[in-house]
Structure 1
Amino acid sequence: MTENLAFQARCLARGAASATLATQAGGQPFASLVTPAAAADFSPLLLLSSLSEHTRQLRAEPRCALLFTGAPEGANPQTAPRVTLTGIAAEVPAEAVPGLKARWLARHPYAALYADFGDFALWRVSLGGALLVGGFARASRIRLAELLPDPAAVAAIGAAAADIIGHVNADHADAVAAIATGLLGGAPGDWRMVAVDVDGADLAAGEPSGEPSGEAVCRLAFRAPVTDAGQVRTELVWAAREGRLRLS
């Protein structure tokens, strides 16, 4: 049961385009909108400007929390699933920035227009735990050891990711389009896979002009965490079949 809750929490956070970041200064709480992405090991990544209030506060007090919210079941906002992640934020070391920034930009391609500005830096949150609320009066605390994905599976998918993405985009563009438009509700476009991890895959489509600021992104959550490339293939085959059925 806990493993299933952890998977739900990860899928919710990985699929969110934005979140609320909670910081504090001198005991005064502060909340702001941020655009996170999750690293392969589920660590939240944030591209933050040094000019922002929350960045100055994190430098003084790195303890923070992130709230990710899904869609409500009806008119009552309390029916929305949500997860709060707590942890400690720190700037990403220079040697790790290129790979993690590419991961972040896969979720937020429009930000390529400003991601290299001098006042922006990539931050990573080392997680401490989570609180998952599945809807009204359905709350569950998840310990860190239960929340994080299996490290061996993370390593296996990470090693295979480039080959998976290259093969899917070169040989199965029609399947990617079926998943994006039929299963996930995206608009018609030049869809491609841009990232894959143990919990799902990120798909993106650009404007006809090819401008990154025009790209749309959607998230395919797998039905369960995967441990190897073969299981990724199984999930993609299922998702493409479902997408085509819904388009027919």
Structure 2
Amino acid sequence: MPETHHPPDAEIRALAARLVGVSHGALATSLDGAPLVTRVGCLWLDGAGMGLLISDLSDHARALAQDPKAAILLGEPGAGGDPLTHPRLTVRGTVHALDKDAWRETWLAARPKAKLYYDFTDFRLLVLEPSDALLNGGFGRASRLAPSDLP
């Protein structure tokens, strides 16, 4: 099959930077060998990757304990038109724990509503450290990205 992805350029990298700025995404994991997708709150943590604040009581926390490989889909369709023409970014990688206390001020400055639950003992701060990403900027505008292409 021929390569159909465009090499990343400044425009693609800028679009990826905008998309990693969203407040939530669809997290894909594998639980007991079956796919699982759930919406999670997220925050791009400079120098670390995509931060995920999740409860240990959730199925996706169980899934990540079984297999730390995951992907997150970022981007929502706009108000009009075909949803498949709107940009989206899939970031793939491995999830590991971060020091929740060390990132508290950063997280709450960006996501103030999380103050309601950030300090709950069942919530952990994880990070999806990117291995690669796929940006789909709409029909005919797809690019494979390396971690160095992300902000």
**Does the TM-score normalized on the shorter chain lie above 0.5?**
yes
| Residue aligning to 2:3 | none
| Residue aligning to 1:47 | 53
Counting aligned pairs with the same residue, the percent is 35
| Preserved CA contact (<8 Å) 1:10 1:42 | no
| Residue aligning to 2:70 | 64
Deviation of 1:70 after TM superposition, in Å, equals 3.5
Which string of whole-angstrom CA distances, capped at 9 and with x for unpartnered residues, describes residues 98-144 of structure 1? 33232222222111011111111111111111100111232111122
Higher strand share: 2
Pairing partner for 1:28 from 34, 47, 51: 34
Pairing partner for 2:150 from 132, 148, 151: 148
| Residue aligning to 1:9 | 16
| Residue aligning to 2:95 | 89
SS at match of 1:64: strand
| Residue aligning to 2:104 | 101
| Preserved CA contact (<8 Å) 2:38 2:60 | yes
Deviation of 1:56 after TM superposition, in Å, equals 0.6
Q: Which runs of 5+ in 2 are unaligned?
A: 1-7
Paired amino acid for 2:55: S
SS at match of 2:23: coil
| Residue aligning to 1:128 | 131
Distance 1:38 1:13 in 2: 6
Query: Which has the larger Rg?
Result: 1
| Preserved CA contact (<8 Å) 1:87 1:125 | yes
Q: Which runs of 5+ in 1 are unaligned?
A: 150-248
Calculate the TM-score normalised by the size of structure 1: 0.54
Paired amino acid for 2:14: F
Distance 1:135 1:58 in 2: 30
Going from structure 1 to structure 2, the CA distance change for 1:42 and 1:139 (only over 3 Å counts) comes to farther
| Preserved CA contact (<8 Å) 2:48 2:127 | no
Give the number of equivalent residue pairs: 144
Going from structure 1 to structure 2, the CA distance change for 1:123 and 1:42 (only over 3 Å counts) comes to closer
Going from structure 1 to structure 2, the CA distance change for 1:42 and 1:138 (only over 3 Å counts) comes to farther
Which string of whole-angstrom CA distances, capped at 9 and with x for unpartnered residues, describes residues 13-39 of structure 1? 11x121000000233110000010011
Calculate the TM-score normalised by the size of structure 2: 0.86
Which string of whole-angstrom CA distances, capped at 9 and with x for unpartnered residues, describes residues 37-81 of structure 1? 011226111111000000010011000000001443732111111
| Residue aligning to 1:199 | none
- Map 1:160-179 onto structure 2 (within 5 A): none
